[in-house]
Amino acid sequence: MEPKISKIGVFTSGGDAPGMNAALRAVVRSAIYYKKEVYGIMQGYEGMIDGDIVKLGARSVGNIIQRGGTILKSARSQEFRTKEGREKAFQNLKKHGIDGLVAIGGDGTFTGLHKFYEEYSIPAVCIPGTIDNDLAGTDYTIGYDTATNTAVEAIDKIRDTAISHNRLFFIEVMGRNSGYIAINCGIAGGAVATIIPEENMTLDDLFHKLDEGGKTNKKSSLVVVAEGSKLGGAMELAKKFSERNNYFDIKVTILGHLQRGGTPTYFDRVLASKMGVAAVEGLLKGEKDVMVGIRNNIIVYNNFSTIINHQHEIDSESLRIAKILSI
């Protein structure tokens, strides 16, 4: 018989992502629906260690479904990586009687929670919240859709000015070690080339592609560069290409953190709502040490050990399409 859960602690951790608030709302309201108490842990693992824990009610999460960021705040805690830090966190959870956890975050968050589960056996369910869409075990992470739409909107704007001035832009997008955001921004933004860590494009391949454009009278071009590119970031690539190019006028834009903010799209809100409810229902049914995912539109529970350190692979069809359309 699984131990009965009566008090759920919820927190957001790692890089914030649009839709985290919608997920929090879903966790709080479904916990209350099932007559459980729910506590918000501020600033991720930092708040767990410092005892910054507040009781939440259905109204505490009113008017947040449409808000970017996270009202619980977030952090990347170094102290939780230590045994002493985790012991302090456990004592604080015990003080509040918290006997189940829901974490909203990415790979780093899950890795910490998996360790914590192994040490203290508090049932824990994670909700994938990161713009990177880099987690195995789910087709989508919360925030990816919004971040990609934001980036594509920015790329469209850059295209207007690129065309007006006959310029070549190197545009860098986020994604840490994953090229998910980049490849789909490249397709949707009509890039001439997309540089992602998963592909072994050489500098020669890239320069050849850009030279081809010059030869066929291409007046302006956009190159999308994933921040994890092994060939170098947008700045570096632009510098290298400008040393050998006298055709294009070259500019660089690094989109950076603007991709992390803003109102979540309908897709992210619905995804977050489904995952939030699934996390609570999973906990109450005895799931522990798992991450909620969505595969082919169906909610699944993945064992942490099968997803930690396994990156969501980019499908070969996207790579093929990007290549065909960039001539």
Among 9, 15, 123, 129, binds ligand F6P (CB under 6 A): 15
Which of 177, 263 has the CB closer to ligand F6P?
177
Among 260, 269, 288, 312, binds ligand F6P (CB under 6 A): 260
Report 265-284 residues binding ligand F6P (CB under 6 A).
Answer: none
Interstrand relation of 221-226 and 7-12 (parallel, antiparallel or unpaired):
unpaired
202-233 in b/e form (b: 16+ CB < 10 A) is eeeebbebbeebeeeebebbbbbbbbbbebeb
Instruction: Please say whether the beta carbons of 125 and 102 come within 8 A.
Output: yes
| Active-site residue (options: 16, 107, 132, 289) | 132
> Where does this chain touch ligand F6P (CB under 6 A) — which range of 36-44, 151-159, 172-180, 216-224?
172-180
Report 128-147 residues binding ligand F6P (CB under 6 A).
Answer: 130-132
Instruction: Please say whether the beta carbons of 291 and 128 come within 8 A.
Output: yes
Please report how close the Cβ of residue 185 comes to ligand F6P at its closest, in angstroms.
13
Taking the CB of residue 3, how many other CB atoms lie within 10 A of it? 12
Please report how close the Cβ of residue 147 comes to ligand F6P at its closest, in angstroms.
8
Please report how close the Cβ of residue 144 comes to ligand F6P at its closest, in angstroms.
10
Q: In what order do the strands lie in the sheet with 249-254?
A: 193-195, 221-226, 167-173, 249-254
> Where does this chain touch ligand F6P (CB under 6 A) — which range of 28-36, 49-57, 124-132, 205-213?
124-132
Helix (H, G, I), strand (E, B) or coil at 149: helix
Clarify whether 50 is annotated catalytic.
Answer: no
Per CB under 6 A, 47 contacts ligand F6P: no
Per CB under 6 A, 18 contacts ligand F6P: no
Give the C-alpha separation, 302 to 115, whole Å. 16
Nearest C-alpha neighbor of 179 from the set 195, 196, 201: 196
Give the C-alpha separation, 21 to 18, whole Å. 7
CA 92 to the chain's CA centroid? 28
Pattern 82-121, binding to ligand F6P, x per CB under 6 A? ------------------------x---------------
Torsion region of 145: left, alpha or beta (phi above 0 gives left; psi -120 to 50 gives alpha) = alpha
Per CB under 6 A, 174 contacts ligand F6P: yes
Please report how close the Cβ of residue 37 comes to ligand F6P at its closest, in angstroms.
31
Which of 132, 199 has the CB closer to ligand F6P?
132
Instruction: Please say whether the beta carbons of 104 and 98 come within 8 A.
Output: no
Report how many residues bind ligand F6P under the rule CB under 6 A.
10
Active site residues: 132
Interface ranges with ligand F6P (CB under 6 A): 15, 106, 130-132, 174-176, 227, 260
